[in-house]
Amino acid sequence: MGWQIKGNLDPTIKKSVIAVVTHTSWHDFYIGLLVRSIIKHPINFVGKKELFIFPFGYFFKWLGGAPLDRSGNNNKVDAIAAEFDKHDTFRVAMSPEGTRKKVDKLRTGFYFIAKKANVPLIPVAFDFKTKTVTIYPALYLTDDIDADIKKFESHFIGVVGKIPEYSYEVKP
């Protein structure tokens, strides 16, 4: 398909939050699955629990999915962080934008999940302009969210999504 992968996951890091930017299209899902099959490291995702009912539930679990109850007052950060305790290896991929539409600011759930689970954050860029997936080294979070987010965002300057006008733009 003309894509290239730069970097790789550190195989000694068995648990992490893999934060993928920029998320503008459903095409990101199959690109992620292809990358996962090429780098040969298990990578999980969470999805609303309704996706995991018969008949598709088996398929999504086979793909590495973990059901998430998004109803009521369930704390999603706590629920996802708790998943790390259930597995020996759990690398959860998520989009900090939280949507495929244009956003001016990243949501912080991915950050707080990594903090609560005490796992590193791995930045991954999906750049459709250059057809490059870049896997950056793990970031170990501090207690300074502003500095951590700034360091995280620095990896995504100029990254363009499948739908360019929805791409997340890093603010200076």
Give me the pLDDT at residue 68, please. Answer: 84
Q: 32 near 108, Cβ under 8 Å?
A: no
Range of the domain at 119: 4-154
Residue 119 lies in a domain: yes
* pTM given for the model: 0.88
Residue 171 lies in a domain: no
Q: What DSSP string describes 28-47?
A: HHHHHHHHHHHHT---BEEE
Residue 112 lies in a domain: yes
The average pLDDT across 114-134 equals 95
- Give the chain's domain count: 1
Residue 172 lies in a domain: no
Give me the pLDDT at residue 129, please. Answer: 94
User: Using one digit for the tens of pLDDT, what is the confidence trace for 78-104?
Assistant: 888 988 999 999 999 998 987 888 888
Residue indicated by tokens 């550190």? 10
CATH code of the domain covering residue 134: 3.40.50
Residue 163 lies in a domain: no
The average pLDDT across 4-30 equals 91
Residue 104 lies in a domain: yes
CA distances to 2, 100, 104, 159 from 70, in Å: 37, 18, 24, 30
